[in-house]
Structure 1
Amino acid sequence: MKRLFPAPWLSLALWALWLTLNLSLSPGNLLLGAILGFAAPLMMRKLRPKHARIRRPSTIIKLFFLVGRDVILSNLIVAWGVLNAKRRPPRSRFVKVPLDLRDAHGLATLAMICTVVPGTVWSELALDRSILLLHVWDLDDEAHFIHHFKTAYEQPLMEIFE
């Protein structure tokens, strides 16, 4: 069964996405969505990384709400900074964050978190995955930022994936 459906949840999600995008439950769309959901994971089976092993699922919920809170706060802070940029220009700079997280799934999740939180941009990851270069839009205290980043995002991801 695993050879026929290497990623059953992905197949189901692709089928649902097809139906949602077409806004139709016609027999043709049901069939085309099912074919897409069946064929795409089969064709891309070799591209999938190893399966993620989630160690602490409850930490996912905590991290979800923490990231949600940070997204809202960061939006407000960035908006306020943009409105007051003439009085107090932002102090943007690059920050090197030492990483203990090595799991590929954890790093991918960390990249997504950096993408959704306004004011941070994932710039570069060292080849040995030991240092992350982030661009921070407005930074007062680099040490405080690194501490917050590691405790708020990296440690929960290590609990989840490692």
Structure 2
Amino acid sequence: MTRLLPHPILTPVLAVIWLLLNNSFDTGQILLGLIFGWAIPVLTIHFWPEAVSIRKPIVLLRYLAVLLFDIIVANFTVARLILGNPDKLQPIFVKLPLDLTSDLAISLLANSITLTPGTLSAKLSDDQGHLLVHALNETDPDTLVATIKQRYENPLKEIFESC
């Protein structure tokens, strides 16, 4: 079964992304989206270093809702900062110590940080012990670290790693 459908969650996600990119929900586009959603994971199965195991799907849905909310709020915040007085911005680099061990979870954390406007994951240490994060406007690095850990890292650990 895993050879025919290696990533059952990725297939519908790719199909929905296809439909959104085409801005069409015609039968042909739905069928094409499902074909792409099935073919891409099948053709790329050898590139996946580990099997994806979602331990808590409800936590994943909550995580996605929090991430989407943070992206929307951060867009308005960054727009206000840039359009307001950009000379008063206080950019900072922060070392975020990682509790995650899974490559997938670390990658998702780094991407989540980068997707949220105003923050950017800049570099993963060679030992994967910390992530260098750039913030556009931050006065308290400890608060930034605590927020990222609480809102992103802890749920990812619950979702993808055994606690």
Decide: shared fold, TM above 0.5. yes
How far does residue 6 in structure 1 lie from its aligned partner after superposition? 4.0
CA RMSD in angstroms comes to 3.0
Deviations 1:13-69 (A, max 9, x none): 667877885x7767xxx6x88876666544433112211111111111221222122
What TM-score, normalized to structure 1? 0.77
- Residue number in structure 2 paired with 1:120: 119
Partner of 1:159: 158
Counterpart-to-counterpart distance in 1, 2:37 and 2:146: 42
* Partner in structure 2 of residue 150 of structure 1: 149
Whole-angstrom CA distance in 1 between matches of 2:47 and 2:16:
22
Provide, for residues 92-122 of structure 1, a one-character-per-residue CA deviation record: whole Å limited to 9, x for no partner: 0111111101112211221221122100111
| Partner Cα separation in structure 2 for residue 35 and residue 74 of structure 1 | 35
Specify the code of the residue in structure 1 equivalent to 2:155. Answer: P
How many angstroms apart in 1 are the aligned matches of 2:63 and 2:80? 25
Alignment length, in residue pairs? 158
Aligned counterparts of 2:62 and 2:8: Cα–Cα separation in 1: 27
Shifted more, 6-15 versus 138-147: the winner is 6-15
Counterpart residue number, 1:73: 73
Cα deviation, residue 9, structure 1:
5.9
- After the TM superposition, list the runs of 4 or more consecutive aligned residues in structure 1 that deviate by more than 3 angstroms: 1-21, 23-26, 32-43
Distance 2:103 2:81 in 1: 34
Tell me by how many angstroms 1:2 deviates. 3.9
**Percent of residue pairs bearing the same amino acid type:** 35
Q: Partner of 2:59: helix, strand, or coil?
A: helix
Return the alpha-carbon distance in structure 2 between the equivalents of residues 60 and 45 of structure 1. 22
Measured against aligned partners, the alpha-carbon deviations of 1:58-92 in whole angstroms (never above 9, x if no partner) come to 11122122212211221121111112225x52100
Contact 2:111 / 2:121 at 8 angstroms: preserved in 1? no
Unaligned runs of 5+ in 1: none
Q: 8 Å contact 1:19–1:25 — kept in the other structure?
A: no
Matches within 5 A, 1:24-63: 40-63=40-63
Distance 1:76 1:53, change over 3 A: same
Question: Are the counterparts in 1 of residues 91 and 138 from structure 2 also a CA contact under 8 Å?
Answer: yes
1:5-24 map, 5 Å: 5-7=5-7, 21=22
Residues 1:125 and 1:138: Cα distance change in structure 2 (over 3 Å): same
Provide the TM-score with structure 2 as the length reference. Answer: 0.77
